[in-house]
Chains A and B, each alone.
Chain A
Amino acid sequence: MTFTDARRLEARAGDVENVLEMDEDAFRAFYDRTARALWTYLWRVTGDRHAADDLLQESYYRLLRMRTPHDGDAHRRNALFHIATNLARDARRRRMVRAAWEPATAVDAGTIADPRNEHTGAEERADLSRAMARLSHRERALIWLAYAQGSSHREIATTIGVKTGSVKLMLFRARRKLADWLTREAGESR
């Protein structure tokens, strides 16, 4: 490597700060406002806390590397959840392919446990975890965004990548399914 090459490398590496979407202070503030909600969302959608840990960091990294500026916090937050949703979907596909080749390591959707239940023992949360595990990836995302995050239909549409008009029907179906499973879980635990 020549001296010119080294200087060029140094200049490129120095540009990293400009490549990231925001400065450190702004990132810290945004992260503190969104990280817990994002982790919980990822964990609810994937059903795997280790996957949620990994995808959380990857989501923030991809957001930081986005070239398009965001209009405000809400816009940036939607973009973050959209990235996270896509990453979770890709991770699920990879896991399905792996599970097809290694049946012994396949994730049993019925065994997804709430990490916080270890401490609280909340039966309701356990019921929700089991019932959520029976929903599809997209249905879990819909339910969580609508009721845990309080997102509007438009925000949900942006996050999961569907038309706003489709959200109502999709949410209705997901809610119907979950309500059915929750009722059954409640009936069985009595």
Chain B
Amino acid sequence: MNIFECPHEQELLDAIQASRWPDRAEAALRAHVDECAVCRDVATVAPIVMGATEGLAGVHVPEAGAVWLRAQWRARAEAERLATHPITAAQAAAIGCAAAISGALFGATSAWFQGDLAGLAGMFDKVGAWLPTAVSPDGVVSILAAHATLAVGTAIAVLLAPVAAYVVTRD
């Protein structure tokens, strides 16, 4: 037998449950409880805890109908949120693509923008004069000038990607 359990525990619990403990319980059980530490604790704790459940009928809980309606409302709201989630993702992706294409077209067709880009390339040229010869600024400038549309589109996509990712995953 373990020190933390006793074979008479259930017998004692039955007596407590049937309100026979202690006065109407068998003398042998009472004698055992006097000597057994486990049963003594059970005899101290169980009647009080069981007694605390007597007023259970007086406990106020919400109406079953109200809880059911709230559960339905929440389930519906969650289902709607799940249903709209893919739409939000598609919309965000579409906006991102449209913005990237618009930017690329603007970059390819705007004389003002290309003029500024050439200015930027000139600036690179000046900065490049200060750089070690190992890195050729002329190469960078010529690549930028030759693929202006691609460069602008890539820059816009890079800028828009975190925004699109945020919009898609914000839920």
- Contact residues of A with B, CB < 8 Å? 1, 5, 8-9, 12-13, 15-17, 19-20, 24, 27-28, 31-32, 35-37, 39-40, 53, 56-57, 60-61, 64-65, 114, 116, 119-120, 124-125, 127-128, 143-144, 147-148, 150, 168-169, 171-173, 175-176, 178-179, 182-183
Partner of B72, one of A20, A53, A127: A20
Alpha-carbon gap, A1 to B90, bound state (A): 11
Please name the residue on chain A nearest to B66 by beta carbon: A57
Q: Which residues of A contact B49 (CB under 8 A)?
A: 128, 143-144, 147-148
Q: Which residues of B contact A32 (CB under 8 A)?
A: 64
CB pair B87–A1 under 8 Å, yes or no, is yes
Residues of B in contact, count (CB < 8 Å): 41
CB pair B75–A56 under 8 Å, yes or no, is no
Smallest CB-CB A-B distances: 6 pairs: A172-B4, A147-B49, A31-B64, A179-B41, A12-B83, A179-B44
CB pair B64–A27 under 8 Å, yes or no, is yes
Confirm or deny: B74 has a beta carbon within 8 angstroms of a beta carbon on chain A: yes
Q: Which residues of A contact B56 (CB under 8 A)?
A: 36-37, 40
CB pair A13–B70 under 8 Å, yes or no, is no
Partner of A20, one of B2, B57, B75: B75
Q: Which residues of B contact A179 (CB under 8 A)?
A: 40-41, 44-45
Partner of B80, one of A12, A53, A147: A12
Q: A9-B80, A65-B75 are in contact. Are A178 and B45 (CB under 8 A)?
A: yes
